[in-house]
Amino acid sequence: MAEIRDLAIGDLAKRTDTKVQTIRYYEEIGLLPAPTRSLGNQRVYGESSLRRLAFIRHARDLGFSIDAIRELLKLSDHPDLPCDDADGIARRHLDEVEDRIKRLRALEKELKRMLAEHRDHGGRIADCKVIEVLSDHSLCGHSH
């Protein structure tokens, strides 16, 4: 298969489903190296930029932070290193996701409780449990 060369930024954006502004931002913060320039001074990208941007997009879709992606990209530049550091980054991210899920489940439970109490108390704002609980955190059934 022939190597991809001379992609304009718009083509790179389409191939990776990434906005042009986002590509420029990734260049600005150093996630993507500065591209070569055409004689007309337009950005020109090749296969390595396409693969790197696809990596970044996939990592972002999985919720990895920019800093974690930066670390993972540094590791991917050294394929002979052991995988322990990459595993550690993924483990930390999984821990964060699990913590977020736990908080979201508590939030879901609280919202369901508020709505269930609301059904039991009629339809006037003066009697609205949603408004009452939102006005006084001590009425929440869970810390969140």
Contact (Cβ atoms closer than 8 angstroms) between residue 35 and residue 27? yes
pTM for the whole structure? 0.77
pLDDT tens digits for range 90-128: 999 999 999 999 999 998 998 888 787 766 556 677 777
pLDDT tens sequence across 9-59? 999 999 999 999 999 999 999 999 999 888 888 889 999 999 999 999 999
Cα 35 from Cα 80, distance rounded (Å): 26
Residue 31 and residue 73 in contact, taking contact as beta carbons nearer than 8 Å:
yes
Domain 1-81 has CATH 1.10.645.10: no
Question: At 34, is the secondary structure helix, strand, or coil?
Answer: coil
Helix (H) or strand (E) holding 37: strand 36-37
